[in-house]
């Protein structure tokens, strides 16, 4: 049964928005090339700029007739150096001084000449002699030799030019900064006001970090999905508990690869993906996937293998960062990633059985829905069903079906626009708008006409419906029906 090419895509592609694709025309082209979701990095630009991006995304969404989730990625307690003018050269074997200028002023002390300013109020409390401080994604490193609050002396191990606003990492150091900063709270308010769909929480260390964000959202009656970014060793240690309280997970390999040995990252990535698959939670693999395409029109063979292996491991989505935000070839990067994903998916579906390892986290509210989802995926495999259509207010049934990785196309049908966008992050799931709910039979017939009218399927296609009866009562999914278009 021939279906539109876009519906055959299983793995979703998250694209970071920046000057390279921040216009309506470029975003429309990005969606046409294979973009499934857009990420706004709150570490860069102003609310005004991000607001313009959101408006442009919604226009591109209408032009392409798609439902595109927007992810607001919080900066988190990112440790950075301050302003350094044209940069400071760190010479191996020389000592440097680190201090937070605001703390120095508060203590009415003089900031030492030549000292490096950092945005880290508790640096002297968290560090001790022998600790390592890394700068610029680990390219530069120093070792702490002496701590005298508020100053930290350190010996340069690996030198080079340190430039303004570069990041700091402290491997094996318990950073006392809160996971949700004042800036994050402002950015969360912005995300709620502008109708974003997900928020990505940076530098998560424990489940309570996610729970704090959940409380913040609930107090404002917001249903934003929460993505836990795994980039700290503490988060890797508590990964199962973090998955349990999150709506999705991102394997953020950039800072993670600085905090833990680079050789460990591939194995940690595979473990996190497997655990997310096991729990039925969407997982995004991110960072430097096609990094060379920031400046080149083609990826390296290693990058192509990296993307393909992320798909074969079980990623729901893969992500582009600088490639699409500031790169010279953003549309080409998206198209390249889509081609690689498509080839990997073909192999994945050829060799893989229906996901048998999936074990949803027990919940009384989803127990029956999960049973229906399991049955739907199993029937679809055995009957070679063309489409599984889940009628849902929340998109939960679609997520649970997708967790089984059926070959059938999954269409999440809903009257709720937010739900249609939210499911856009789920493996193999596509949203379809329904204007109204009537009786069960009338609604099924209406959906069948929509599937035909939109050209998604031709007459003779088989569709497996999952529905909650009675519809008017918004009942949880409790019914299966096989129909022919």
- Alpha carbon distance 259, 404 (integer Å): 33
Q: Specify whether 6 is catalytic.
A: no
Tokens of 78: 């990112």
Which tokens hold the place of 367?
């127990």
Beta strands 140-148 and 151-158, pairing class: antiparallel
Q: What count of Cα atoms within 13 Å lies in the side-chain half-sphere of residue 282?
A: 30
Residue 462's beta-bridge partner residues? 484
Question: Which residue from 407, 405, 414 is spatially nearest to 466, judged by alpha carbons?
Answer: 414
> Which one of the listed residues 229, 399, 404, 448 is annotated catalytic?
229
Q: Based on the residue annotation, tell me whether 186 is a catalytic residue of this protein.
A: no
Element (H, E) at 72: strand 70-73
User: What stretch of H or E contains 50?
Assistant: helix 47-64
Hey, which residues does 284 pair with through a beta bridge?
A: 250, 317
Count CA atoms closer than 13 A to 459's CA, side-chain side.
0
Q: Is 287 among the residues known to form the active site?
A: yes
Q: Which of 287, 324, 369, 419 is catalytic?
A: 287
Helices (H), 364-439: 367-383, 396-402, 417-422
155 beta partners: 95, 143
Could you give the CA distance from residue 334 to residue 191 in angstroms, rounded to a whole number?
Answer: 25
Q: Does the active-site annotation cover 421?
A: no
C-alpha to C-alpha distance for 48 and 252, rounded to whole angstroms: 26
Q: What is the DSSP string of 221-285?
A: T---EEEEEE-SHHHHHTHHHHHHH-SEEEEEHHHHHHHS-GGGHHHHHHHHHHHHHHHT--EEE
Dist. CA 123–CA 127, nearest whole Å: 6
Catalytic residue among 12, 26, 39, 405: 39
CA dihedral 57, 59, 65, 67 (to 10 degrees): 40
What are 279's two structure tokens? 């729990």
**CA separation, residue 271 to residues 236, 242, 277, 285 (Å):** 9, 14, 10, 12
Please list, in sequence order, all residues whose beta carbon lies within 8 angstroms of the beta carbon of residue 84, skipping any fewer than 6 positions away: 116, 117, 162, 163, 164
- Give the distance between the most distant pair of CA atoms in the chain: 80
Task: For residue 163, give the DSSP letter.
Answer: -
The DSSP H or E segment spanning 330 is helix 330-351
Catalytic residues, by residue number, are 39, 80, 229, 287
């Amino acid at each position: 049964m021939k279906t539109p090419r876009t519906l055959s895509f299983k793995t979703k592609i998250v694209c970071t928005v920046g000057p390279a694709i921040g216009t309506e025309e470029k975003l429309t082209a990005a969606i046409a090339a294979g973009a499934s979701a857009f990420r706004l990095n709150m570490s860069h630009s102003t609310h005004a700029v991000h607001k313009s991006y959101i408006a442009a995304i919604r226009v591109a969404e209408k032009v392409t007739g798609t439902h595109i989730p927007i992810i607001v990625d919080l900066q988190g307690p990112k440790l950075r150096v301050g302003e350094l003018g044209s940069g400071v050269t760190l010479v191996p074997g020389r000592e440097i001084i680190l201090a937070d200028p605001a703390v120095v002023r508060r203590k009415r002390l003089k900031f030492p000449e030549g000292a490096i300013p950092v945005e880290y109020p508790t640096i002297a409390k968290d560090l001790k002699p022998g600790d390592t401080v890394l700068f610029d994604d680990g390219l530069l490193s120093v070792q702490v030799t002496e701590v005298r609050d508020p100053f930290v002396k350190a010996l340069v191990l690996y030198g080079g030019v340190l430039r303004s606003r570069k990041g700091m990492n402290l491997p094996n150091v318990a950073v006392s900064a809160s996971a949700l900063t004042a800036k994050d709270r402002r950015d969360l308010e912005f995300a709620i006001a502008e109708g974003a769909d997900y928020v990505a929480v940076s530098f998560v260390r424990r489940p309570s970090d996610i729970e704090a964000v959940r409380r913040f959202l609930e107090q404002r009656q917001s249903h934003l999905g929460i993505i836990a970014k795994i980039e700290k060793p503490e988060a890797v240690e508590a990964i199962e508990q973090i998955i349990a309280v999150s709506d999705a997970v991102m394997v953020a390999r950039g800072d993670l690869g600085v905090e833990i040995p680079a050789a460990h990252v591939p194995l940690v990535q595979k473990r996190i993906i497997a655990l997310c698959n096991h729990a039925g939670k969407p997982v995004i693999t991110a960072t430097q996937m096609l990094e060379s395409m920031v400046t080149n029109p083609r990826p390296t063979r290693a990058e192509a293998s990296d993307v393909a292996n992320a798909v074969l491991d079980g990623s729901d989505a893969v992500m582009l960062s600088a490639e699409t935000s500031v790169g010279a070839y953003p549309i080409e990067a998206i198209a390249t990633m889509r081609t690689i994903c498509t080839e990997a998916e073909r192999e994945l579906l050829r060799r893989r059985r229906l996901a048998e390892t999936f074990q949803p986290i027990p919940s009384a509210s989803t127990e029956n829905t999960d049973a229906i989802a399991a049955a739907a995926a199993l029937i679809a495999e055995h009957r070679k069903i063309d489409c599984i259509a889940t009628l849902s207010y929340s998109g939960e049934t679609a997520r649970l079906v997708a967790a089984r990785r059926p070959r059938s196309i999954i269409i999440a049908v809903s009257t709720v626009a937010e739900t249609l966008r939210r499911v856009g992050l789920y493996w193999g799931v596509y949203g379809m708008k329904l204007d109204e709910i009537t009786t069960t039979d009338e609604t099924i017939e209406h959906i069948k006409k929509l599937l035909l009218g939109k050209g998604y399927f031709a007459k003779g296609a088989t569709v497996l419906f999952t529905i909650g009866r009675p519809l008017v009562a918004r009942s949880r999914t409790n019914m299966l029906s096989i129909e022919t278009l």
